[in-house]
Amino acid sequence: MSQKLTLEQIQNFEGKYPIQLWHLFMVEMWERFCFYGMRGVLAIFMVDMLGLTESESNLKYGAIQAFVYAFTFVGGIFADKILGFKKSLVFGGLVMIAGNLLIASDPHQFFYYGITLSIIGTGFFKPNISSMVGELYKKGDPRRDAGFGLFYSGINIGALLGGLVCVYLGKQVSWNLAFLAAGIVMIIGVVLFLFIRKELGPIGDSPLAKLEPKKRLIKEGAVYVGAIIAIPLIFIMIHNTSYTDMFMFTVGPLAILYYLFQLYKIPESKDKSKFIAAFIMISFSILFFAIFEQAGGSLALFANTNLKTSLFGINTIESFPTMVNNSANSLYVIIFSPILGLVWLWMAKKKIEPNTVIKFGLSFLILAVAYYIFYSLRFFADEMGMTSLEVFLLAYFVVTLSELCISPIGLSMVTKLSPAHLSGMMMGLWFLASAYGQYLAGILGAGMSDPTQTTSLVGKLMSYTQGYQQLAIYSLVAGVIIIVISPLIRKLMQDVK
């Protein structure tokens, strides 16, 4: 039997990337196929097949996505304190598989039950694989950002494939097959992780490994039982979004109190300062996600009804605009992420590269440009309210540029600014901020849509594009504020670049 790798052996890898990163890349790619495949069809399925209005669909979409990301906060804490990243990831993956296969058996009958399981499963899966990527590197290793960049590419390859396949199957073939495809690729991801987990050495092991086996089993069992108990609670809150409001107004303050408690326990003032900087960045990310994540809600519904099916004069299938909405961003990331990385390297050599906080502010300013382009779609529409797919694609290109200024940096920054023993919790807090962004995205999307479904396509066009103009203004203001206070945030970050 081969000897278990030590953390030092893993972190002393040669070259640009450790071998473990490629394996985690593959696991995350299949999980993201599942997640983004599901995400791309949620709002459309609820309108087309469950008979919800677009306003109701936006709110439920926001609630579902909010719970997905909120549960990552819970999953991160349990992984840090009890399960460890490895056990948490496998448990979450198995629950996600169960959820997808349940929906696939009868989408109309079991949709909300399956979604509930998917929420819980994603919560245990998502934050922990990101944390394991962070532990592949020593503190201060300059290769860390490149590693997260590669990992981020894996996310987007999976998202691209899931966005195309699941939407196509759902709209053109069968909704059963769409959800089944998501379940099958999740099985591939979990099986792959079971094969490669020994290569991770001590990374992701249970923090209770030295505890008496019986006591450890009791604590781990309590986590699994708690997850089962949460099923009916989440099911109820998804069905009635007023309960979602109560949940979000409760969890946020509790998370802040838990953060403050952990902040108080940090002994070194420099570490406290960095911990505060991480919290500021995470807080601003809420608004970014609220605007960016219109993709699965209002933009998905807009693409489903108000976009022409022709692209550069070529006629396509009916579902093509929806497929474009669900995959264009990922395709752009795959193509332009390496190019933008080279641009940053060139600027760094010239000593003109903007720092992380300035990049954060730029992401909002670029996002404002993107939503002004979405607003401009009203000027390219015909008398029926159908508008240009080409302009829609251009807007998504600009959205992607804004994302590339924040998302890979955000994942890496949270791990660099957080103490090692709190990395899972802070990664969870990053995703909790995403939860509030998703929640706000649903509210904003619902505000743009007609709650009665009686509006004409022209009316929908004007309503949605007016909403996109407002989002552009919010992005512009936020970007200016971040750039103005960037010196203060940089000071709090200490030696972290």
**pLDDT tens, residue by residue, 152-169:** 777 888 889 998 998 889
Query: Which pLDDT belongs to residue 1?
Result: 41
pLDDT for 75-84, tens place per residue?
877 887 888 8
Residue 5 resides in a domain: no
One-character DSSP codes across 81-137? IIIHHHHHHHHHHHHHHHHHHHHHH-HHHHHHHHHHHHHHHHHHHHHHHHHHHHTTS
Query: Which pLDDT belongs to residue 185?
Result: 92
Residue bearing tokens 């997850």: 227
Reported confidence tier of residue 407, pLDDT bands at 50, 70, 90: low
At 315, give phi and psi (nearest 5°): -75, 140
Query: Which pLDDT belongs to residue 490?
Result: 82
d(CA 120, CA 230): 8
d(CA 472, CA 369): 7
Both tokens of residue 2?
């081969």
Residue 332 resides in a domain: yes
**What count of other Cβ atoms lies within 10 Å of the Cβ of residue 12?**
10
Residue 104 resides in a domain: yes
Higher per-residue pLDDT: 226 or 495: 226
Q: Residue 408 above 70 pLDDT?
A: no
User: Which CATH number goes with the domain that contains 28?
Assistant: 1.20.1250.20
Reported confidence tier of residue 184, pLDDT bands at 50, 70, 90: very high
Q: CB burial class (10 A; 0-12, 13-18, 19+) of residue 326?
A: buried
165: nearest Cα among 299, 157, 403: 157
Residue 421 resides in a domain: yes
Mean pLDDT of 197-214: 79
The whole-angstrom distance between residue 259's C-alpha and the CA centroid of its chain comes to 21
Mean pLDDT of 447-460: 76
Residue 270: which residues within 8 A CB-CB, separation 6 or more? Answer: 494, 495
Query: Which pLDDT belongs to residue 474?
Result: 94
Residue 497: which residues within 8 A CB-CB, separation 6 or more? Answer: 355, 356
Reported confidence tier of residue 454, pLDDT bands at 50, 70, 90: low
Both tokens of residue 89?
């990831």
pLDDT for 260-276, tens place per residue?
888 877 777 777 888 78
Provide the whole-model pTM: 0.83
Q: Residue 251 above 90 pLDDT?
A: no
Show the domain range for 354. 16-492
> Count of alpha carbons within 13 Å of 137, Cβ hemisphere only?
21
Mean pLDDT of all residues in the chain? 84
d(CA 289, CA 140): 28
The total number of structural domains in the chain stands at 1
3-class secondary-structure state, position 242: helix
- Containing 213, the helix (H) or strand (E) segment is helix 213-239
Percent of the chain's residues with pLDDT above 70: 95
Q: Residue 471 above 90 pLDDT?
A: yes
Give per-residue burial for 188-213: e unless 16+ CB within 10 Å, then b: bbbebbeeebeebbebbbbbbeeeee
Residue 298 resides in a domain: yes
CA distances (Å), origin 201, targets 126, 144, 168: 20, 19, 40
Residue 272 resides in a domain: yes
Tell me if 387 sits within 8 A of 307, measured CB to CB: yes
- Containing 214, the helix (H) or strand (E) segment is helix 213-239
Higher per-residue pLDDT: 409 or 123: 123
Mean pLDDT of 337-364: 82
pLDDT for 268-302, tens place per residue?
777 788 878 888 888 888 889 899 889 888 898 89
129: nearest Cα among 96, 110, 152, 146: 152
Residue 363 resides in a domain: yes
Query: Which pLDDT belongs to residue 209?
Result: 75
Q: Residue 130 above 90 pLDDT?
A: no
Both tokens of residue 241?
């979004």
Higher per-residue pLDDT: 336 or 204: 336
Q: How many residues does the chain have?
A: 497
Identify each DSSP E strand in 326-425 by its residue range: none
Q: Residue 359 above 90 pLDDT?
A: no
pLDDT for 24-59, tens place per residue?
888 888 888 888 888 888 888 888 888 888 888 888
Mean pLDDT of 410-428: 70
Residue 6 resides in a domain: no
Mean pLDDT of 333-337: 84
Tell me if 62 sits within 8 A of 46, measured CB to CB: no
d(CA 97, CA 477): 41
